[in-house]
C-alpha cells in the first residue's frame, strides 16, 4: 500500500501506475487547484480522476482525495480515509512540489509558497504517515522527491528559484534525519534527485522562457548523457527499486536520476 | 520482472565466490550471459584464504544451471594483459559486452597508517584501485564498439565515502574508486555508457567473516568470533542488522545494469543499512 502526494499527473501519476503494475494499492492525493504564485497551470480534478482510472485499469485499488500538503489536518483526513478503505500503508512517496519561477514581475509570495509546499509539505506528509507505520511494526519505505537543485546551487536568483533550491536542499536534511530516527523501526528513508523530467511542471511555456532567459538555470538541463530530459517512469523505476525488497537495506541515501548532470558540474 | 538484463553479457571480476558469484547468478537469473574472472589464489597481505579454482568452477556450475552461458578464466586484476585476454576471449565467445562489474577486492589486517608496510599499502592499491581501472580499461573498447551504450558498476565501499580507522590503505583505495567512477562517467556519457559505484556496508562473505576483521572490530578480545563481531558490526549500521547479504549488493548491481536505470550515471550508491549517515 502506497501513499503518494502530487499524484494527479506527472511523476506522481507515473509512480502510482508503476507501483500498481507491481501490485500495490494506492492512496493518492493532490491539491488539484492553482497556487497564485505558480505561473504554469497546476493539476486539476480531471487529472486526478485520470490517475484513478489508470490504476483501476491495472486491477488495483485506489483512494484519491483532493488535499493540500500544506494543511496537515486535511492531509491526515485524506490519509485516514485511504487507510480505512484499503488498509495500512507501507510506502510513502512525498512527491508533491511546485516550481514558481517566473520572468518579469515576480510574486512576492513565491519564496514562501515553494518552501511551504516543497519542504513543509514533505514534512507534513511523513508526519502524517509514520505513526501508523511505527505502530504496525512492519517497517516500510519512504522516498522524498528532491531534485538536482537539492544537491547543486541551481535554479537562478529569483525568489521562486532560490526557494526551490533551498526547499529541495532542505528535503535532504529531512531525509537524513528521518533515516536515522526511523531506522530502529526498519523504516527506510531515501531521496531521489531528478534532472529535468518531461512533465507539465517543466514542459510549459513559462518554464521554457525562464530557462532560456537565465543561462545558469538553462544549464540545469544540460545533462552528460545525450538526452535533454528524462521521463517520469525513470524516476518511478528508481523509486520502485528503493521501496521494494531489492532495496531492503538501503536507507539515508540520495539517488540522482539525472543523466549525469550532478557529476558533470 | 523476469529478464531485466535479457540478452546482455556481463563481465565480472572476483567472480569465484562472495559478492562476485552472487552477481553472476543474479544477472544470469535475469537473462545475462557471464564472463567471469578471478585470481583463484591467496593474495599478498590478505589475512584469509583466497578463492580457489574450485570456487570459480562452482560459479560456472550455478550459472549454467540457470541455462545461461558463462566463460570463466583465472586472471589477476593487477595484470592488465591477463584481464584483457580473458575479456577479449569472453567477448569473442559470447558475442558482445553490455555490463561490467569491477568487483574484485581484498581486505586487510588492521594497522595504524604510519605502521603499514609499504608493500601492504601497494598491494592494496594494486588490487582494489588499479585492478578496477584495469577492468574498465579492458572493457571500454568493447562497450564503445558495441554502440549500444552500457553500464559499468564499480564496487567501492562505505569506506569509499567515509573514514574508518586502521585501514587507511583500504579507505584510500575505495575513495580512489569514486574518483575513477566520476571521471569515467564523464568521459563515457557521450557513448551512453553509464558508470556508477556501489558502497556496501559489511557483506556476509569470506572477506569479512574472518578473524582479521573480527579483530579490527573487537580489538578488546584476543580471539573474537563471528558472534563477538555481530554486535560491533551492527553498531556501524542504523538499520537493526549486523550485515547485508551478497544478494542485496547484486540487486543494486542488477538495477544499475538494467534499463530501469538508463539515465543514472556518475552516482555513488550506498547499500549500507545507513552506515554513511550514522
Which residues of chain A make contact with B238, given a CB cutoff of 8 A? Answer: 179-180, 183-184, 251-252
The rounded distance, in Å, linking the Cα atoms of B86 and B80 is 10
- A219 pLDDT exceeds 70? no
- Name the closest residue on chain B to residue A172, using Cα atoms: B277
Contact B189 A225 (CB under 8 A): yes
Span of A18-32, B1-15, B184-198 with lowest mean pLDDT: B1-15
Tally A–B CB contacts below 8 A: 120
Contact A257 B252 (CB under 8 A): no
The rounded distance, in Å, linking the Cα atoms of B147 and A161 is 39
Average pLDDT score over chain B = 96
Which residue, chain included where needed, has cell 574450485? B54
pLDDT digits (tens, 9 = 90+) for A186-202: 999 999 999 999 999 89
* CA neighbor of B159 nearest in space, from B124, B210, B195, B116: B124
* pLDDT at residue B1 in the model: 44
What single-letter DSSP state applies at residue A29? E
What average pLDDT score do residues A142-151 get? 97
| Among the partner residues B255, B265, B273, nearest to A260 by beta-carbon distance | B265
pLDDT digits (tens, 9 = 90+) for B109-120: 889 999 999 999
Return the residue in A140, A150, A225 with the most chain B beta carbons within 10 A, the one to mutate for interface testing. Answer: A225
What is the per-residue burial (b if ≥16 Cβ within 10 Å, else e) of A177-213?
A: ebbbebbebbbbbbbbbbbbbbbebbeeebbeebbee
Active-site residue, from B48, B164, B170, B263 = B170
Question: pLDDT exceeding 90 applies to what percent of chain B?
Answer: 92
Contact B277 A246 (CB under 8 A): no
| Among the partner residues A241, A252, A264, nearest to B260 by beta-carbon distance | A241
Grid cell of A160 as nine digits: 521562486
Are B11 and B90 a contacting pair, CB within 8 Å? yes
The rounded distance, in Å, linking the Cα atoms of B111 and A18 is 49
* pLDDT at residue A210 in the model: 81
Average pLDDT score over chain A = 95
List strand residue ranges (DSSP E) for B87-162, in order. Answer: 99-102, 150-155
Phi-psi region of A124 (alpha: psi -120 to 50; beta: other; left: phi over 0): alpha
Question: pLDDT exceeding 90 applies to what percent of chain A?
Answer: 87
pLDDT digits (tens, 9 = 90+) for B35-86: 999 999 998 888 899 999 999 999 999 999 999 999 999 999 999 999 999 9
CA-to-CA dists, residue B87 to B29, B82, B90, B152, angstroms:
21, 9, 5, 14
CB atoms < 10 A from the CB of B50, how many? 16
Contact B192 A230 (CB under 8 A): no
Q: How far is B124 from chain A (nearest CA, A)?
A: 27
CA-to-CA dists, residue B194 to A227, A232, B34, B179, angstroms:
13, 19, 19, 15
* pLDDT at residue A156 in the model: 86
Q: What is the dihedral of CA B95, B97, B103, B105, to 10 degrees?
A: 70
Are B64 and B70 a contacting pair, CB within 8 Å? yes
- B18 pLDDT exceeds 70? yes
Burial class, A66, CB count within 10 angstroms (exposed 0-12 / middle 13-18 / buried 19+): middle
B162 has a chain A CB within 8 A of its CB? no
- A212 pLDDT exceeds 80? yes
- What count of residues does chain B have? 278
Contact A264 B244 (CB under 8 A): no
Q: What is the dihedral of CA A243, A246, A248, A253, to 10 degrees?
A: -70
- What count of residues does chain A have? 265
What is the SS3 assignment for B213-238?
HHHHHCCCCCCCCHHHHHHHHHCCCC
Which residues of chain A make contact with B274, given a CB cutoff of 8 A? Answer: 179-180, 183, 251-252
* pLDDT at residue A29 in the model: 98
| Cβ neighbours of residue A1 closer than 8 Å, sequence gap 6 or more | A24, A25, A26, A27, A86, A87, A88, A89, A90, A91
The superfamily in CATH containing domain A2-264 is NAD(P)-binding Rossmann-like Domain (3.40.50.720)
Q: Which domains does chain B have, with CATH numbers?
A: 9-207+246-266 (3.40.50.720), 209-242 (no CATH)
Q: Which pLDDT band holds residue A206 (cuts at 50, 70, 90)? A: confident
Return the residue in B186, B263, B266, B269 with the most chain A beta carbons within 10 A, the one to mutate for interface testing. Answer: B263
pTM over 0.80: yes
CB atoms < 10 A from the CB of B97, how many? 25
| Cβ neighbours of residue A53 closer than 8 Å, sequence gap 6 or more | none
| Cβ neighbours of residue A26 closer than 8 Å, sequence gap 6 or more | A1, A2, A4, A7, A16, A19, A20, A55, A60, A61, A62, A63
* pLDDT at residue A91 in the model: 98
Are A193 and A258 a contacting pair, CB within 8 Å? yes
Check if A164 is active-site: yes
- Give the ipTM: 0.92
* pLDDT at residue A221 in the model: 64
Q: How far is A247 from chain B (nearest CA, A)?
A: 7
Q: How far is B39 from chain A (nearest CA, A)?
A: 29
Return the residue in B246, B265, B270, B275 with the most chain A beta carbons within 10 A, the one to mutate for interface testing. Answer: B265
* pLDDT at residue A217 in the model: 64
- Name the closest residue on chain B to residue A179, using Cα atoms: B274
Q: Which pLDDT band holds residue A218 (cuts at 50, 70, 90)? A: low
Amino acid at each position: 500500500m502506497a501513499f503518494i502526494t502530487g499524484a494527479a499527473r506527472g511523476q506522481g501519476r507515473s509512480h502510482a501506475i508503476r507501483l500498481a503494475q507491481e501490485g500495490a494499492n494506492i492512496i493518492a492525493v493532490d491539491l488539484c487547484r492553482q497556487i497564485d504564485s505558480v505561473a504554469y497551470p497546476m493539476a486539476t480534478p480531471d487529472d486526478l480522476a485520470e490517475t484513478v482510472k489508470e490504476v483501476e485499469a491495472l486491477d488495483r485499488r485506489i483512494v484519491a482525495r483532493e488535499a493540500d500538503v500544506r494543511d496537515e489536518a486535511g492531509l491526515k483526513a485524506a490519509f485516514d480515509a485511504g487507510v480505512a478503505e484499503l488498509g495500512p500503508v507501507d510506502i510513502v512517496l512525498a512527491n508533491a512540489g511546485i516550481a514558481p519561477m517566473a520572468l518579469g514581475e515576480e510574486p512576492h509570495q513565491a519564496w514562501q509558497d515553494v518552501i511551504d509546499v516543497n519542504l513543509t509539505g514533505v514534512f507534513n506528509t511523513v508526519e502524517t504517515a509514520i505513526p501508523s507505520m511505527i505502530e504496525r511494526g512492519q517497517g516500510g519505505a519512504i522516498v522524498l522527491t528532491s531534485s538536482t537543485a537539492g544537491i547543486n546551487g541551481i535554479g537562478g536568483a529569483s525568489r521562486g528559484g532560490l526557494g526551490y533550491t533551498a526547499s529541495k536542499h532542505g528535503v535532504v536534511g529531512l531525509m537524513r534525519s528521518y533515516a536515522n530516527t526511523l531506522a530502529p523501526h526498519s523504516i527506510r528513508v531515501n531521496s531521489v534527485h531528478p534532472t529535468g523530467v518531461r512533465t507539465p511542471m517543466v514542459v510549459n511555456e513559462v518554464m521554457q522562457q525562464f530557462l532560456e532567459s537565465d543561462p545558469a538555470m538553462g544549464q540545469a538541463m544540460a545533462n552528460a548523457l545525450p538526452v535533454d530530459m528524462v521521463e517520469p517512469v525513470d524516476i518511478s523505476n528508481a523509486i520502485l527499486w528503493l521501496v521494494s525488497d531489492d532495496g531492503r537495506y538501503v536507507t539515508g541515501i540520495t539517488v540522482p536520476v539525472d543523466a549525469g548532470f550532478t557529476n558533470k558540474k | 520482472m523476469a529478464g531485466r538484463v535479457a540478452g546482455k553479457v556481463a563481465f565480472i571480476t572476483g567472480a569465484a565466490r562472495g559478492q562476485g558469484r552472487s552477481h553472476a547468478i543474479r544477472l544470469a537469473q535475469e537473462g545475462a550471459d557471464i564472463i567471469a574472472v578471478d585470481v583463484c589464489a591467496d593474495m599478498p597481505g590478505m589475512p584469509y584464504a583466497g578463492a580457489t579454482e574450485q570456487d570459480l568452477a562452482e560459479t560456472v556450475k550455478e550459472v549454467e544451471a540457470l541455462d545461461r552461458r558463462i566463460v570463466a578464466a583465472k586472471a589477476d586484476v593487477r595484470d592488465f594483459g591477463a584481464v584483457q585476454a580473458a575479456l577479449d576471449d569472453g567477448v569473442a565467445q559470447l558475442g558482445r559486452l553490455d555490463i561490467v562489474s569491477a568487483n574484485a577486492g581484498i581486505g586487510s589486517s588492521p594497522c595504524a597508517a604510519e605502521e603499514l608496510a609499504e608493500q601492504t599499502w601497494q598491494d592494496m592499491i594494486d588490487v582494489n584501485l588499479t585492478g578496477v581501472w584495469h577492468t574498465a580499461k579492458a572493457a571500454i573498447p568493447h562497450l564503445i564498439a558495441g554502440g549500444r551504450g552500457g553500464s559499468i558498476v564499480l564496487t567501492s565501499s562505505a569506506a569509499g565515502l567515509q573514514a574508518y580507522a586502521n585501514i587507511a590503505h583500504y579507505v584510500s583505495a575505495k575513495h580512489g574508486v569514486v574518483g575513477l567512477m566520476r571521471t569515467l562517467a564523464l568521459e563515457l556519457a557521450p557513448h551512453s555508457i553509464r558508470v556508477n559505484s556501489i558502497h556496501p556496508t559489511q557483506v556476509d562473505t569470506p572477506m569479512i567473516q574472518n578473524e582479521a576483521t573480527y579483530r579490527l572490530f573487537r580489538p578488546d578480545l584476543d580471539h573474537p568470533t563471528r558472534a563477538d563481531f555481530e554486535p560491533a558490526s551492527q553498531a556501524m549500521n542504523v538499520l537493526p542488522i549486523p550485515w547485508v547479504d551478497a544478494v542485496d549488493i547484486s540487486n543494486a548491481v542488477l538495477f544499475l545494469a538494467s534499463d530501469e536505470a538508463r539515465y543514472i550515471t556518475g552516482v555513488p550508491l550506498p547499500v549500507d543499512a545507513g552506515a554513511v549517515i550514522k
